[in-house]
Amino acid sequence: MNKQPLVSIIMNCYNSDTYLKETLESVFSQTYQNWEIIFWDNQSTDNSAKIINSYKDKRIKYFYAPTHTPLGEARNLAIEKATGEWIAILDCDDLWHQSKLYDSFALLDKYPHKQDVSLLYSKTAYIDESGDIFGYFHEHYSGYIHDLLLKKGDFVFISSAIFRADILNQVGKIDTSLHYAEDYDLLLKVSKNYQALCVDKFYTYYRVHQKNLTNSNVYAYDVENFEFLKKYIKEHNLSFGLKTSIFLNNSARMTASIVKLTLKKDFTNLTKIIKEYWQYLLLFPYYALYFTAKQIKKQVG
């Protein structure tokens, strides 16, 4: 590569000592070494501070939050401390392949329209609590992906994303009024007038465990996404095709919500979500059959 820009890796931590060392090792093992870690300790009470401070490396910038804040606000505070040309967000339970950063910037280096790129990312694999891969998320796109994010839903995992710092600040960083849809909102904002490049390799590992917000707060997560997209439609001049795609995606999400809430035996929130968003049930039979067939195919495969 002709140039290796400084990458600020944002790590927001709140009682994350379980997987923290493994995550940090995935950063230190990078073949691309021009990075800094902005470690924002959101007043952890476990061994997180002890673990991060055991690394005697000047590239680590440790900050202890004066007050405990929601994740979106904590991320913005950490981003304000960043000095890199690019900003990556790595959650303290996720991992990177050692070639993640190098191949991302090698791809950018070969791209003829670098000035139009606001986002670099790679494909993501799912890992369990032991770090073993149990699935792959294959969907990925390069170029102007804004409309695809609306058509297909959020296909960029936040721990995979590397944002151009000037554009990230230009769009206002993370919307702190959101608690579950803030990643989706951020991706839509940075891709509105700019392009994305995806490394076609599984270089990000998303850990699935019981403490994931999407697993523990199914109702709140889905409701905020429904409301976020409803507001997005009102505020933007979207085509009929995009509106239709959003409706279909919400219908699929509604079906998944019903299944998850039923399995959790959370019948109170199941009743509430059906009552509040009954319109997305119109395609329930189709998506129920689709998800069932997909699960059968997975088991057979």
In a domain, 53, yes or no: yes
Same domain as 198, residue 140: yes
Same domain, yes or no: 175 and 237: no
What's the domain range around 135? 7-207
Q: Is the domain of 141 the same as that of 111?
A: yes
Last residue within a domain, chosen from 207, 241, 266: 207
Residue 212 belongs to some domain of the structure: no
Burial readout 84-108 (b: 16 or more C-beta within 10 A, e: otherwise): bebbbbbbbbbbbbbbbbbbbbebb
Distances (CA, A) of 123 to 4, 30, 105: 22, 17, 15
Q: How confident is the model at residue 156 (pLDDT cuts 50, 70, 90)?
A: very high
**CATH (domain of 48):** 3.90.550.10
Residue 225 and residue 181 in one domain: no
Among candidate residues 137, 136, 41, 24, the one with its CA nearest the CA of residue 90: 24
pTM of this structure: 0.91
Same domain, 122 and 269: no
User: Token pair of 39, please?
Assistant: 């470690």
**Helix intervals (H) in the chain:** 17-28, 48-53, 71-79, 100-110, 146-152, 165-170, 182-191, 213-216, 218-235, 240-263, 267-276, 284-300
Q: Which residues are CB-contacts of 25 (< 8 A; sequence separation ≥ 6)?
A: none
Band (179; pLDDT cuts 50, 70, 90): very high
Q: Model confidence over 51-62: pLDDT tens digits?
A: 999 999 999 999
pLDDT tens for each residue of 73-127? 999 999 999 999 999 999 999 999 999 999 999 999 999 999 999 999 999 999 9
Amino acid letter, 89: I
Domain match, 260 and 197 both? no
**Listed residues 207, 227, 249: the one ending a domain:** 207
Q: Considering the domain boundaries, does residue 109 fall inside one?
A: yes
Q: Answer whether residue 107 is part of any domain.
A: yes
CA-nearest of 176, 3, 162 to 76 is 176
- Residue 172 and residue 63 in one domain: yes
| Residues 129 and 269 both lie in one domain | no
Contact between 187 and 119 under an 8 Å Cβ cutoff? The reply is: yes
**Do 63 and 18 share a domain, yes or no?**
yes
Do both 268 and 172 map to the same domain?
A: no
Is residue 290 scored above 80 in pLDDT?
no
What pLDDT is attached to residue 1? Answer: 61
Res. 212 pLDDT band, cuts 50 70 90: low
In-domain check, residue 1: no
Q: Is residue 152 situated within a structural domain?
A: yes
Q: Please write the tens of the pLDDT for every residue from 221-255.
A: 999 999 999 999 999 999 999 999 999 999 999 99
Residue 24 lies in a domain: yes
Q: pLDDT averaged over the chain?
A: 93
How many domains are contained in the chain? 2
2 falls within a domain: no
20 and 127 both lie in a single domain: yes
| C-alpha gyration radius of the chain | 20
Of 149, 177, 207, the last residue of a domain is 207
- What's the confidence (pLDDT) of residue 210? 73
221, two tokens: 């997560």
Which residue type sits at 213? L
- Specify whether the CB–CB gap between 280 and 254 falls below 8 A: yes
Same domain, 154 and 291: no
